[in-house]
Chain A
Amino acid sequence: MSLIRELFGKSPFGPLVEHARKVHECVKLVRPLMEACVREDWEAIHRLQDTVTKLEYEADVVKHEIRDHLPRRYFLPVSRPDLDRYLHCQDNIADAAQDFAVVLLIRRTKIHPALVQGFLDFVDQVVLVSETLMGAATELEALAETSFGGAEAESVLKKISGLGEGEWKADRMQRKLSQHIYSLEKELDPITVIFYEKFLQTLSALANAAENTGDMLRTMIVKG
């Protein structure tokens, strides 16, 4: 065994970017899912849910690869707990997308015509938050190249600075949509209302997870 061969562990940053891409593929299906629900196209929901589950599983495989290849004896350019937490948060995004698909799948919930635009706008805002994060997360390799410092780090920090505001906007839209739903409570059956709530919860969990991932990314950069 040559010394030099033992010296290099597998860098986690390439796979982290791969994980981010898989997660974002899940998130990209949220809007088509919502549209299918509006169209009451249950077959499409079934198909899309399958795809999300498959992508989420693939993301999990990457996640486990990253964890398995990083025994404690390796030292990394970022703190190990921070990296673990980052990966965990990023994974939560895919989980939330999958939860949303499942909620759509388990009950044929129809969207009240007055609520359609509100739901679609909310979905768009949530996906936008995740997109903002992905724009930064896919630069992890470039960040590692610059040792998490300098102009590259600045540009990533700038990208994620919009996350908080995006998440805050999503929260506000969620509140408004909630109010809107309860203003129609006379016209809706209670179980439909319960499921609307579930839609809102899973979607806001997605935006929250994206914001948290951004926070962890910031922590990794700033700690250096």
Chain B
Amino acid sequence: MEWLVTGGAVAVCLYMAWTIGANDVANSMGAPVGAGCITVKQAILIAAIFEFAGSVLVGTDVTDTIRKSIVEPTALAGRPEVLCLGMACALLASALWLHVATFLGMPVSTTHSIVGAVAGFGVVAAGVHSVHWGRMGEIVASWFISPVAGLALGYLIFKFILRSVLTKAQPLPAAVRMTPFIVLLTTLVVALATIYDGLKNLIRKESPLAAYLTGGRAVVVSVIIALAAAALSWLLMRRYARKGGKLSIPEQLRWVERVFVPLAVMAACSVSFAHGANDVANAVGPLAAVLDILKSGKVVPQVIVPFWILALGGLGIVLGLATYGYTVMRTIGKEITEITPSRAMAASIAAAATVLACTRLGLPVSTSHCVVGAVLGIGLARGLGAVNRRVTRNIFGSWLATVPAAAGMAMLLFVLGHHLGLDALLKQLMPAVP
């Protein structure tokens, strides 16, 4: 019996990870694929590696028992079986909603779906007052702020590339000169998010002073790594510097785009990494909570995520990519031909930085929306031939629909499960707690 429950929870988690891989990853990697920087196969490979790395390194060693503390855990302290059932329902509801929305052709976000589902279950299981509405407001605000932040960053980064490379009299040598700085910037963002957060997790029990020192050291280590990467990129790019001079500006611009290809690939890796850090936890966090409660019979604010669950999340994503995401990505590669490596690079760096910053602040945001924001920012900087501004309407429409839909579905599943006596069944499986 216990195996059946565990197996069921694992299956739901895999399903959720599958929908992420099938849908979300294509959005985060669409720009570089469209720009022809990477093939669809390479994109799948990069996604498989970096999504996994992001989820393991930045994602979570520890997860909140209730995703992002939307519901007060103490409200359910005496009823671990309810929480257990609720988290399973929330996970299933958000995965189902993602699947339905994908089928209906709606652009939805994994994050919004799980947040809505958890809140929905909280309202039914523990009452309206147990939901931290302030926290919920913060999260919803971050959904406004993150595309706007992506837009601002996309605009600034692209303007910087324009000013420092594309509008120069000798764009090719300028591109080669700027490469180390762009590498430095990107690596620094990724390294900071990784090391700072990772080390902080390790010394959670230590004094604040130790945390501070480790943070400072993390910054130093990040800077060293970024400098090394920048130096390496300079060594690799040096050979292009002599090519300029005799070439006309349009010819040089074509070379500049070639020089930017590896940078765009690196930026794509960082988006994938950020996506893994931000979104994989959505799938594996609730599973970890369910299994932990099942084992201990207690409700604790935070639970350890075993490595195998993280690996499971990674596996689900790769499966989603291979079965469905591949097709989506191929369509994107064929349809989006109007983006060049310089634009893909700027959009990816902006999106990765926004997502990683929000993850650091504990705000679950949509990677897709940050990418869209960044692309719009580049459009605003006159960087793209034609940008569809109606997409912004779809973004807001998507979460306006997603949160209530996922919440409603979670409520329905929970009530259904309660009537079937699933929570009582779970209670029997749990060890008795004095």
Contacts and interface: CB of A to CB of B under 8 A. Distances in A.
A75 B336 contact: no
Interface in A29-67: none
Interface in A65-104: 69-70, 73-78
A147 B388 contact: no
Contact of B385 (A3, A13, A139): A13
B388 A4 contact: no
A147 B385 contact: no
Interface stretch (B119-127, B164-172, B426-434): B164-172
Contacts of B107: 1-3, 6
Give the contact-size bracket for chain A: 35 or more
A13 B383 CA distance: 12
B167 A4 contact: no
Nearest to A150: B167
B383 A77 contact: yes
A142 B375 CA distance: 20
Contact of B23 (A2, A10, A70, A147): A2
B375 A12 contact: no
Contacts of B249: 142, 151-152, 155
A4 B31 contact: yes
A7 B166 contact: no
A119 interface: no
Interface string B373-388: 0011001111111111
A147 B387 contact: no
B339 interface: yes
Contacts of B376: 7
Given A142-B253, A149-B162, A152-B253, A5 B331 contact: yes
A142 B252 CA distance: 10
Interface residues of B, number: 50
Contacts of B335: 5, 8
B246 to A, nearest CB: 15
Given A151-B168, A224-B382, A9 B105 contact: no
A1 B332 CA distance: 10
Contacts of A73: 388-390
A8 B389 contact: no
A3 B387 contact: no
A145 interface: yes
Max chain B C-beta neighbours (<10 A), residue from A144, A147, A155:
A147
Instruction: Please name the 8 residue pairs, one residue from A and one from B, whose CB atoms are nearest each other, closest first.
Output: A11-B385, A150-B167, A9-B386, A77-B382, A4-B30, A142-B250, A3-B107, A151-B169
25 contacts: A2-B27, A2-B328, A3-B391, A5-B336, A6-B391, A7-B375, A7-B387, A9-B386, A9-B388, A10-B338, A69-B386, A70-B386, A75-B387, A76-B386, A142-B253, A145-B166, A145-B253, A147-B162, A148-B382, A150-B162, A150-B166, A150-B167, A151-B169, A151-B170, A224-B382
Given A75-B386, A147-B383, 19 more contacts: A2-B23, A2-B30, A2-B107, A2-B368, A3-B27, A3-B368, A3-B394, A4-B34, A7-B375, A7-B388, A8-B336, A8-B339, A10-B386, A75-B380, A139-B250, A147-B382, A150-B169, A151-B168, A151-B169
Interface of A: 1-14, 69-70, 73-78, 139, 141-142, 144-153, 155, 224
Interface of B: 23, 26-27, 30-31, 34, 105-107, 162, 166-171, 249-250, 253, 257, 328, 331-332, 335-336, 338-340, 342, 368-369, 371-372, 375-376, 379-391, 394-395
